[in-house]
Structure 1
Amino acid sequence: MLPLPLPSLMVLVGPAGAGKSTIARTVPASWRVELDALREMVSDDPGDQLATADAAALHDQLLRARLRRRRPTLVDSTNTDPAHRDELIALAHAHGVLAIAIRVMVPLHRCIARQARRPLSQQVPGRILAQQHAATPGLPELRAEGFDLAVDASEIDFLGLLLERATEEAPEVDLDALAAFGPDLAAAVVPLGQDEQGRTTGTVAIGSQALAVRHEDDGAQGYHWQIRVPCTDCGCPTWAAAHTAADLLAVHRGLPHDLVRDCDICR
């Protein structure tokens, strides 16, 4: 997994519904410059196209203000227009920071399915979505445009970034209330269902990276959240109590941790 060079201007590139906003939530909110969010700020509706001109003006001001201070900045929009990408590259280099393209791409049918779940005002028409998908360049093309680094989103450890940030922001918070880690980490939890004991199972997922977790309302054990880990003795998958975001980060990074992880077979 590649680290993100900082300071830099990180430009997400991909069609609507590809998962860019999920990735954007892994970095601090102050880093994100998102046109939809700015439309919502000026009109209370992120899909209000009549607010685009005002939102775009704010977008440009925020970018320049952060880059003047050489602060890490992530542009969360489709960025499928090559002329717009050229402007972003020039802006980054004019302020002495790296321009990084992060390509976020999934099959078109997945983009369409995700769009269908959004409020009507935020849905991109199918024709436009297909155009965005077709216009998303490959990594060699992005590098040829002048980006200092062009990578696929799967090459960057965004899940680790999110877990690391949650650990730093709330190192002593118990996972009894996952929302205590902030809306970004909570939003990364994908519920999958219930097992035979009635425990809620799911994943903490960013793109193709995921940690298996489950919630067990068992006060007698003194914990509620568990994470899937290999057994210390035999390597079989088992469940261990997860008390803090630091536990999740340690498992994700393969670092030593104090979680109990003996499986039923070894017992």
Structure 2
Amino acid sequence: MIGPPGCGKSTFAGRYPASWRVCLDEYRLAATDDMTDQSATPVAARIQELLLDARLSRSLPVLVDATNVFAHVRAGLLARARYWQRPVVGVLFDLPLKTVEDRNMSRDRVVPPHIVREYHRLLPTPGQLLNEGFATVYSASEFTGQGAV
């Protein structure tokens, strides 16, 4: 999944078995009692890598519940999938900025608006994701009828 905070990634992931989900926020929470504590991200990323390898090595489905807006982060995920010879499907949460901002402001855990705007600006296009190595890319805007960014 690729998208800014508040775009619906965790809600989307909630439609699938909990065992499929790897989530940096949850691992930051486990490490520090605060899922917003960015200083715990390196530890959370290590936990994520262990769980990704455990599931990918067994050909089990995985949903990576994180923003994944940075190309270098996606490259790392793609490299893991290639190592385990697994295809990668991207779900791009390309909803309009106003929709994402409104959703973010209605959450219990509001992310600072400037972060939401910056991460929204960093969203790749479906074509970019395919060029990076994603086997298939779905756009959330296709399913919501809200139009792409």
Pair 1:136-2:123 in alignment = yes
Q: SS where residue 64 of structure 2 aligns?
A: strand
Greater RCO (Cα-Cα under 8 Å, separation 6 or more)? 2
Structure 2 CA distance, aligned partners of 1:86 and 1:153? 21
Output the amino acid matched with 1:127.
H
Residue 154 of structure 1 and its aligned partner are, at CA, apart by 5.4
Q: Shift in Å at residue 44 of structure 1?
A: 2.5
C-alpha distance in 1 between matches for 2:59 and 2:94: 28
Q: What amino acid sits opposite 1:76 in the alignment? A: D
CA distance in 2: counterparts of 1:17 and 1:105, whole angstroms: 12
CA distance, structure 2, for counterparts of residue 130 and residue 155 of structure 1: 21
Which of these residues, 131, 137, 148, is aligned with residue 135 of structure 2? 148
Q: Which residue of 2 aligns with 1:18?
A: 7
**1:118 CA displacement:** 3.0
Q: How far did residue 114 of structure 1 move?
A: 2.0
- Kindly provide the amino acid, as one letter, of the partner of residue 135 in structure 1: L
Partner of 2:69: 80
Written as runs of structure 1 = structure 2, the 5 A alignment for 1:231-250 is none
Question: Normalising by structure 1, what TM-score?
Answer: 0.51
- Name the CA distance, whole Å, in 2 between partners of 1:155 and 1:66: 29
Task: Pick from 38, 61, 69 the counterpart of residue 58 of structure 2.
Answer: 69
Match of 1:176 in 2: none
2:28 paired residue among 34, 39, 46: 39
TM-score normalized by the length of structure 2: 0.88
Higher helix share: 2
- Matches of residues 1-267 of structure 1 in structure 2 within 5 Å? 12-119=1-108, 122-153=109-140, 207=144
In structure 1, C-alpha distance between the alignment counterparts of 2:45 and 2:26, rounded to whole Å:
11
The alignment-based identity, stated in percent, is: 39
Structure 2: give runs of 5+ residues left out of the alignment.
none
Which amino acid in 2 is paired with 1:152? Answer: S
Aligned residues: 145
Shift of 1:109: 1.8
Consecutive unaligned residues of structure 1, counting only runs of 5 or more, are: 1-11, 157-206, 209-267
Residues 153-189 of structure 1, C-alpha deviations (whole Å, 9 max, x = no match) = 3557xxxxxxxxxxxxxxxxxxxxxxxxxxxxxxxxx
1:248 matched residue in structure 2? none
Amino acid at match of 1:80: V
